[in-house]
């Protein structure tokens, strides 16, 4: 194999997405042949060079794993928590390089994908791909038509106005309302911030779908491998989003 950019090698090895791999490099966590490398333009040969991340040797040809997890509330979508709190990796089999694709905050439940395929993670999380993600948000009160329309057309948040979203009223209860909100962005706590901005804060949030993939009948806390067809469908959704971006 000829020399390639280091971040590309790390992504291909399933260490992280290419963007996260760049952050690992600039943070001084990557070594090539025993030397710390911090330059993003650095190259290496995965066949002949010894590449390490945090002291662990990088395998360039791992077995690819793809899991769908119905994340319960109370778990962090991270690989490690220095405070010792529960993480989603405790709910799936140990697999080298496995990491969550994007994040659901601790109090959000629902569909979470985990993989050791960095390129796949990049496909699903990079903003240019715009893979749709649907959430069921139970909010306080009863949002009126103007509030729902604001969610649909764009809400001004720190960092800019959100892109148009698909919003449907699923259920109106005595003191709360359930909304189905589909977004193509991945800002931090975006749905919660959108609802708060229009005056109807979220009290319960669940991710119901990524593209056409749903949790189906999978109970909270349980996982299953993605089928080859599901992986292919998600890749296709990412390419479609890029084409229409």
Q: Which residue, among 125, 100, 133, 160, has the nearest Cα to 19 in the 3D structure?
A: 125
**Hey, is 23 helix, strand or coil?**
helix
Q: Which residue, among 109, 149, 80, 117, has the nearest Cα to 226 in the 3D structure?
A: 117
Which sign does the torsion angle of CA 146, 202, 220, 77 carry? Answer: positive
CB neighbours of 28 closer than 8 A, spacing ≥ 6?
36, 38
Separation CA 210–CA 234 (nearest Å): 8
Active site residues: 105
Separation CA 132–CA 211 (nearest Å): 5
Crossing angle, helix 145-153 and helix 190-197, to 10 degrees?
140
The Cα angle at residue 201 between residues 200 and 203, in degrees rounded to 5 = 125
Separation CA 129–CA 192 (nearest Å): 22
The pairs formed by 146-149 with CB atoms below 8 angstroms and a separation of 24 or more are 147/198, 147/199, 147/200, 148/179
């Amino acid at each position: 194999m000829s020399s390639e950019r280091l971040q590309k090698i790390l992504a291909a090895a399933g260490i992280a997405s290419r963007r996260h791999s760049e952050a690992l490099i600039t943070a001084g966590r990557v070594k090539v042949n025993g030397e710390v490398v911090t330059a993003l333009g650095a190259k290496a040969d995965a066949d002949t060079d010894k590449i390490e991340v945090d002291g662990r040797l990088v395998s360039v040809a791992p077995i690819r794993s793809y899991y769908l997890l119905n994340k319960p509330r109370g778990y962090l979508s991270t690989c490690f928590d220095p405070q010792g709190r529960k993480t989603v990796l405790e709910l799936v089999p140990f697999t080298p390089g496995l990491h969550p694709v994007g994040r659901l905050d601790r109090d959000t439940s629902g569909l979470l994908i985990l993989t050791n395929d960095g390129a796949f993670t990049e496909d699903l999380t990079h903003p240019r791909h715009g893979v749709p993600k649907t959430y069921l948000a139970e909010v306080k009160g009863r949002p009126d038509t103007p509030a729902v329309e604001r969610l649909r057309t764009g809400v001004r948040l720190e960092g800019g106005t959100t892109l148009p979203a698909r919003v449907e009223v699923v259920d109106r209860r005595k003191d709360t309302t359930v909304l189905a909100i589909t977004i193509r962005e991945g800002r931090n706590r975006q749905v919660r911030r959108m609802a708060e901005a229009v005056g109807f804060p979220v009290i319960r949030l669940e991710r119901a779908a990524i593209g056409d993939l749903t949790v189906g009948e999978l109970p909270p806390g349980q996982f299953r491998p993605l089928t080859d067809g599901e992986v292919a469908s998600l890749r296709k959704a990412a390419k479609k989003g890029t084409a229409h971006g």
